[in-house]
Amino acid sequence: MRNIFFTFIIAFFASACATAPGTLPEKYNLDNSLEPIEEISAVKSPSFELVDNQSIILRVNWDEYYLLVLRRPVKTRDSNPSIGIDRVVTGVTSGITSGHDRIYLDSSPGQYYVIDIIYKLKGEKQAEEIKERLRDK
């Protein structure tokens, strides 16, 4: 009985470690220069651009820009993949929520990437600056 208990405990801790999210690279810690938000409430006419292997610029409502930092790197060889949002129902929300909603790529079926952080950007100029900054690192 004792051996079964210890085996269960070891298996539990091993599975917990395997499913725990990793630490984001330091280059995505932009809290000092950008405004982190929990949700993008109204999303019309979204367009996506993969910035690097773990971040995406999202343009919605024709003139609003957001940086989406993903919980883990995207696995794709396509430099301009077709990107979509998989919204997870979280109550009454109709927007995109960090920590719940996911990104998917048409070129990688079955692969989903949780949105870890959403930063609101101050327009197209700042979106271009952030792209250059993240691509240089």
For the residues 52-66, what does the mean pLDDT come to?
93
In this prediction, residues 16-23 reach a mean pLDDT of 54
pLDDT at 16 over 50: no
In a domain, 103, yes or no: yes
Answer yes or no: is 25 within a domain. no
CB 69 within 8 A of CB 91: no
Q: Which tokens go with 104?
A: 């998917």
Could you tell me which of 105, 10, 25 has the C-alpha nearest to residue 71?
Answer: 25
Asked if the structure places residue 21 within a domain, the reply is no
Whether 70 is covered by a domain: the verdict is yes
Q: What is the extent of the structural domain holding 91? A: 35-136
- At 51 the three-state DSSP class reads strand
Distance CA 29, CA 116 (A): 11
Contact of 46 with 59, CB cutoff 8 Å? yes
Model confidence at 128: pLDDT above 50: yes
State what percent of residues in the chain have pLDDT above 70. 79
Q: Look up residue 49 and give its DSSP letter.
A: E
Number of domains present in the structure of the chain: 1
82 contacts 105 by C-beta, under 8 angstroms: yes
Q: Of 105-114, 115-124, 125-134, which gets the smallest average pLDDT?
A: 105-114
Which of 18-22, 23-27, 107-111 has maximum average pLDDT? Answer: 23-27
DSSP 28: G
Confirm whether 4 is domain-assigned: no
Backbone angles phi, psi at 124, to 5 degrees: -65, -40
Decide if 20 is inside a domain. no
Tell me, yes or no, whether 12 lies in a domain.
no
Contact criterion met (CB below 8 Å) for 67 and 57: yes
Which contiguous run of DSSP H or E holds residue 120?
strand 112-121
What's the average model confidence in pLDDT over 20-32?
A: 82
Separation CA 121–CA 24 (nearest Å): 20
Neighbouring-strand partners of residue 112? 104
pLDDT tens sequence across 65-89: 999 999 999 987 777 788 988 887 6
Q: What is the mean pLDDT of residues 19-41?
A: 84
Residue 8 inside a domain? The answer is no
